[in-house]
Amino acid sequence: MPEIIRELCNGCGLCVAVCSCKGLVLIDNVATVVETVECDYCTQCEAVCPTGAIRCPYEIVVGES
């Protein structure tokens, strides 16, 4: 699951809106990962976050075809 750096989160909710698996919620205006939801590692939350508060701690490997 993504890591949220709570100090950087401004509560904008963009990551919550973009997550296709509903794996993120706002609690006390801070994005929080719902541990029971299966994250498909789309990295949309990381991409959309304006403050860099989300890190997806894995590498995207683009295969050559």
- Chain positions contacting ligand SF4, by CB under 6 A: 2, 4, 9-15, 18-21, 23-24, 31, 39-45, 48-49, 51, 53-54, 56
Select 35 or 64, whichever has its Cβ closest to ligand SF4: 35
Select 60 or 65, whichever has its Cβ closest to ligand SF4: 60
Smallest distance from ligand SF4 to CB 61, Å: 15
Which of helix, strand or coil describes residue 48?
helix
Smallest distance from ligand SF4 to CB 59, Å: 13
Contacts 24+ apart (CB under 8 A), 35-41: 35/1, 39/1, 39/2
Contact 5, 53 (CB under 8 A): yes
Write the single-letter amino acid at 55: R
